[in-house]
Amino acid sequence: MKDIALALAFAPVAPLMLWQGRRVRRVTPVLPAAAGPQSGSIGGAHGAQLKLLVFGESTAAGVGARHHEEALAGHLASAISGRTSGKVDWSVCALSGATVKTAHESLLANVPNSPHDLIVLVFGVNDTLEHTRPARFAARMTDLIADLRARVGKAPVLLAAPPPMERFPALPHPLAAYLGARAALLRRALGALSLPAVAQVEVRIPITPDLFARDLFHPSARGYSVWAEALATAAFAHHPLLARP
């Protein structure tokens, strides 16, 4: 019911937000996904040997970065390898514009049937834009996790929390405030999940212009680096098995 109350609260400015949304789509540059291979390795042969899967929407696909080494997967693999002094094999399975539902339907079959050590799920922006109800978002995420683990084993899962969209430079107010409030509802829904070896990670840092790509909507290479460091820290805090020698 909170999402209904939110819609009612913003109803007086709904025509303005509709106009703002159309204008943002018209003037915001459309950036490509990160170039290059969607898998790779980093680190040496000593220490932990880990397999990492990054699965999700445009930020998982590295939109805003030149190639995946500068995007979330590459930075996260580097951060994990730096903590273990070992090798990290990373892979990306992602689609710009994907919701949890569309990714489940169209991307799951692309994930290799092989054991992984860590799954990072990156969703929330498109479900916010699509007005997915929080309970449905959480239920779909639960189903996705179950089906992913059926393919790659019962790996620990990190949920990258839906971001604070009210702080995206590309979004004007009141549209930014409305989308930020909707994203917060999705974060609460994920935070209420009680699943084994699943943790939501929020990044609470000052939002500065250098963290955004030129579309002012997706992360820059630096933004991905900061985000990856927070995810790596959470990985070892929530999943100590990742620190095995």
CATH number at residue 231: 3.40.50.1110
Say what the pLDDT of residue 235 is.
Answer: 85
Say what the pLDDT of residue 242 is.
Answer: 61
Domain that includes residue 197, residue range: 2-243
Q: What is the pTM of this model?
A: 0.94
Say what the pLDDT of residue 207 is.
Answer: 83
| Rounded CA separation 226/39 (Å) | 21
| Rounded CA separation 90/92 (Å) | 7
The tens digit of pLDDT for each residue in 21-63 reads 999 999 999 999 999 999 999 887 666 688 999 999 999 999 9
102-106 contacts, C-beta under 8 A, 24 or more apart: 103/55, 103/56, 103/57, 103/144, 104/140, 104/143, 104/144, 104/147
| Rounded CA separation 170/125 (Å) | 13
Report the chain's mean pLDDT, rounded to a whole number: 92
**Which pair of tokens denotes residue 82?**
């730096």
How many domains does the chain fold into? 1
Say what the pLDDT of residue 69 is.
Answer: 93
- For the chain, residues with pLDDT lower than 50 are 245
Say what the pLDDT of residue 245 is.
Answer: 45
| Rounded CA separation 183/187 (Å) | 6
